């Protein structure tokens, strides 16, 4: 199972009736910078290795910008604009205009001001960064990611059964990342991962970690996540939920 996530922000005002239990909200008219996290999931990736191109979320970003940003949300929604109502509004938009047309991708979560994994609670995680270049083959002419370009990547490994991986595991992980990823052209350094999309890199790192790390008894790697940019990530894990 693959999941990808992207974060968006918009600034807006709202007022909710005093009777509505809206935590963190003062009574009366006020405003927020809303941070929206969208998580999409698919059992399989499609060429070049995407759940769906992050660019497919651009119309959603435009909608946030044109319809919700710098507005009074009471004028936009047809019910009091609580966080729950805003969440429902955003879900309906995403289901209708993004998810349904694919017939393949599902909307896993929409969060407001909660960019981390929804519904899974705190998990032990180890993060490592690397600086790398790549290009993605098979994209439409003019797609910026078809050009050779680079990112400051973050790779995160989630595991359970222990709160901290043993030093030997961390050394092995750091060693692999620094040899095959950091300072590399990923198309050449990890060709067996497939086109180096975030999804394919996350799957490759998950499988590498499961195979190569000597984990203590009862400890398992539960997921690997790769971020190319500050606002996006892709994650791979073997179990479905």
Assess 234 for contact with ligand LPXRUNBV (CB under 6 A).
yes
Assess 82 for contact with ligand LPXRUNBV (CB under 6 A).
no
Of 35 and 232, which has the nearer Cβ to ligand LPXRUNBV? 232
Find the binder of ligand LPXRUNBV among 132, 145, 209, 221 (CB under 6 A): 145
Assess 4 for contact with ligand LPXRUNBV (CB under 6 A).
yes
Q: What is the DSSP string of the chain?
A: -EEEEEEEEEEEEE---TTS--TT--SSSEEEEEEEEEEEEESS-BTTTBSS-GGGGHHHHHHIIIIITTSBHHHHSSS---HHHHHHHHHHHHIIIIIHHHSS-EEEEEEES--S-TTS---EEEEEEEEEEE--TTPPTT-GGGS-EEEEEEEEEEEESSSS--HHHHHHHHHHHHHHTTTEEHHHHSGGG-S--HHHHHHHHHHHHHHH--PPTT-EEEEEEEESSTTEEEEE-SS--
Of 16 and 40, which has the nearer Cβ to ligand LPXRUNBV? 40
Assess 227 for contact with ligand LPXRUNBV (CB under 6 A).
no
Stretch that binds ligand LPXRUNBV, among 72-80, 101-109, 123-131, 192-200 (CB under 6 A): 192-200
Assess 181 for contact with ligand LPXRUNBV (CB under 6 A).
no
Shortest distance, position 215 Cβ to ligand LPXRUNBV, whole Å: 27
The residues binding ligand LPXRUNBV (CB under 6 A) are 4, 50-55, 136, 145, 149, 197-199, 228-229, 232, 234
């Amino acid at each position: 199972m693959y999941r990808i996530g992207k974060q968006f922000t918009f600034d807006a005002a709202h007022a909710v009736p005093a009777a509505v239990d809206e935590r963190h909200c003062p009574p009366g008219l006020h405003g927020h910078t809303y941070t929206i996290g969208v998580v999409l999931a698919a059992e399989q990736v499609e060429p070049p290795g995407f759940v769906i191109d992050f660019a497919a979320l651009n119309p959603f970003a435009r909608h946030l910008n044109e319809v919700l940003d710098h507005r009074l949300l009471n004028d936009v929604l047809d019910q009091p604009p609580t966080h729950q109502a805003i969440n429902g509004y955003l879900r309906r938009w995403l289901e209708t205009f993004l998810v349904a047309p694919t017939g393949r991708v599902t909307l896993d979560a929409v969060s407001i001001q909660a960019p981390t994994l929804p519904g899974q609670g705190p998990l032990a995680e180890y993060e490592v960064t690397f600086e790398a270049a790549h290009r993605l083959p098979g994209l439409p002419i003019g797609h910026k990611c078809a050009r050779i370009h680079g990112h400051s990547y973050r790779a995160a490994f989630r595991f359970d059964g222990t709160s901290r991986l043993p030093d030997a595991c961390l050394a092995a992980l750091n060693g692999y990342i620094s040899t095959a990823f950091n300072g590399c052209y990923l198309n050449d350094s990890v060709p067996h991962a497939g086109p180096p999309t975030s999804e394919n890199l996350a799957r490759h790192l998950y499988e590498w970690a499961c195979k190569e790390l000597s984990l203590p008894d009862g400890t398992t790697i539960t997921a690997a996540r790769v971020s190319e940019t500050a606002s996006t990530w892709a994650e791979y894990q073997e179990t479905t939920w």
